């Protein structure tokens, strides 16, 4: 039985563009992703290579939104990124994006980092953030109560 090769898309991002010529950082990311796709037996889908210049701290990036839409349309099975910071710098945003891709049936794969380990680390950071917010809220509440008591 012949199993169809997984269809891959590539998302490469750099925070800044170079003034002259191509953005070699983005080009290098794409080359590494294509090499990884070849090694894994993935087929890079025509028209599914996204090159973006912009901040990794925002989800409001034109091509990020386009690759999400393509995932939701079922145009590919796996999204390749050079590293997870290319997708998002913020751990909470990264976690949300990975979840959205997974809900669309797309696995996000870094060509330089272990996917499962990075997902676990992101979950830990998210939990640490929740604990910190809870502690700040508790301290704030205690401070307000102490202020009322002293008046």
Q: Give residue 121's pLDDT.
A: 61
By C-alpha distance, which of 22, 27, 97 is closest to 56? 97
By C-alpha distance, which of 63, 44, 51 is closest to 22? 51
The answer as to whether 45 is a domain residue is yes
Tens digits of residue pLDDT in 83-105: 988 999 888 888 889 989 999 99
Looking at the chain, list the stretches that DSSP marks H as alpha helix, in order from N- to C-terminal side: 24-40, 62-72, 84-87, 91-103, 115-150
Query: What percentage of the chain reaches a pLDDT higher than 70?
Result: 83
The answer as to whether 149 is a domain residue is no
Domain count, the chain: 1
pTM score: 0.73
Tens digits of residue pLDDT in 15-60: 876 544 455 689 999 999 999 999 999 999 999 999 998 888 888 8
Q: Give residue 140's pLDDT.
A: 77
The answer as to whether 121 is a domain residue is no
Q: What is the CATH number of the domain that holds 19?
A: 3.40.50.1390
**Interatomic CA distance for residues 67 and 9, integer angstroms:** 8
Q: Is 19 exposed, middle or buried (0-12, 13-18, 19+ CB in 10 A)?
A: exposed
- pLDDT, mean over the chain: 85
By C-alpha distance, which of 8, 32, 82 is closest to 52? 82
The answer as to whether 136 is a domain residue is no
Range of the domain at 49: 7-113
The answer as to whether 82 is a domain residue is yes
């Amino acid at each position: 039985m012949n199993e169809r090769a997984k269809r891959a898309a590539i998302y490469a991002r750099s925070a800044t563009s170079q003034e002259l010529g191509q953005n070699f950082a983005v080009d290098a990311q794409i080359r590494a992703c294509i090499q990884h796709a070849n090694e894994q037996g993935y087929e890079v889908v025509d028209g599914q290579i996204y090159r973006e210049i912009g901040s990794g701290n925002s989800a409001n990036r034109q091509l990020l939104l386009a690759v999400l839409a393509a995932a939701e349309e079922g145009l590919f099975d796996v999204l390749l990124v050079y590293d997870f910071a290319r997708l998002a710098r913020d751990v909470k945003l990264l976690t949300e994006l990975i979840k959205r891709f997974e809900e669309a049936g797309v696995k996000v794969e870094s060509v330089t980092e272990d996917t499962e380990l990075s997902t676990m680390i992101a979950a830990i950071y998210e939990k640490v953030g929740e604990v910190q917010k809870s502690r700040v809220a508790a301290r704030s509440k205690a401070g307000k109560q102490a202020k009322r008591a002293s008046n």
